[in-house]
Amino acid sequence: MPLLIDFKSGDKLIINGSVLENIGSNTKILVHNNSAILREKEVLAGEDAQTPASRVYFELQNAYISLDQTEREGCLKRFDQRLNEFIAACPSAMEIALKVRDHVNNERIYKGLKEAQNLIKYESKVLQKFSEQLKAFLAENDLEDGPSSRDDEQA
C-alpha cells in the first residue's frame, strides 16, 4: 500500500537514511515501496537524547534508518540495553516498555518508535511529578534558598 506524504516547504524527512528537504513550495510525495521514512518532527538529535527514555528512542531511531546491517544490529543491541536500564529505573512503565520490545522483536521497528514516544511521555510525567515533590520537600524544610539561619547558628 503506497504512503502519501504531504511535504511542506522547508520540511525535512529521512528516507532510507537520506535526508531530503523541500526547498520549494508544498508538494506531495507518494512512496510505492517499503522504505524507512521519518519526518523531521519524529527525528531526535543525539544531543537531545538526555533522558533514559529518549536514549531508548534514539537507538531505535538509528536502527530504523540504518542501511548497514552491522550498524543496525549494534543500534538494536544498545536499544535493548537502554530499555533494560529504563525498566530498572522506572518499573511502573513496564507495560509500555514491553510493547516497544514486542514491536522490535517482531521487526516492526517503526511501530516500536511510535510506542517509544509514549515511553518518553510517561517518563516526562514521572519526572514532572518528582520535580513537584522535590520542590514541596525543599519548601517544607526551608531548603530552597540554601542553608537556613539555623545552620548558621549551629556553626
For residue 34, the model assigns a pLDDT of 84
For residue 119, the model assigns a pLDDT of 96
C-alpha cell belonging to residue 107:
521487526
For residue 148, is pLDDT > 90? no
For residue 111, is pLDDT > 80? yes
- Residue with the bigger pLDDT between 153 and 112: it is 112
8 A C-beta contact, residue 44 and residue 68? no
pLDDT mean over 48-71: 94
Contacts of 63 (CB under 8 A, 6+ apart): 72, 75, 76, 79, 109
Distances (CA, A) of 59 to 14, 15, 104: 16, 17, 12
For residue 28, is pLDDT > 90? no
pTM of the model: 0.80
In the block, cell 525543599 appears at: 138
pLDDT mean over 41-52: 92
8 A C-beta contact, residue 82 and residue 104? no
Task: Label residue 116 by pLDDT band (50, 70, 90).
Answer: very high
E strand spans, 24-145: 27-31, 37-39
8 A C-beta contact, residue 41 and residue 71? no
Instruction: Say if residue 113 is exposed, middle or buried (CB neighbours under 10 Å; 0-12, 13-18, 19+).
Output: buried
Q: Which range has the worst mean pLDDT, 31-35, 49-53, 71-75, 142-146?
A: 142-146
CA distance 23 to 6: 14
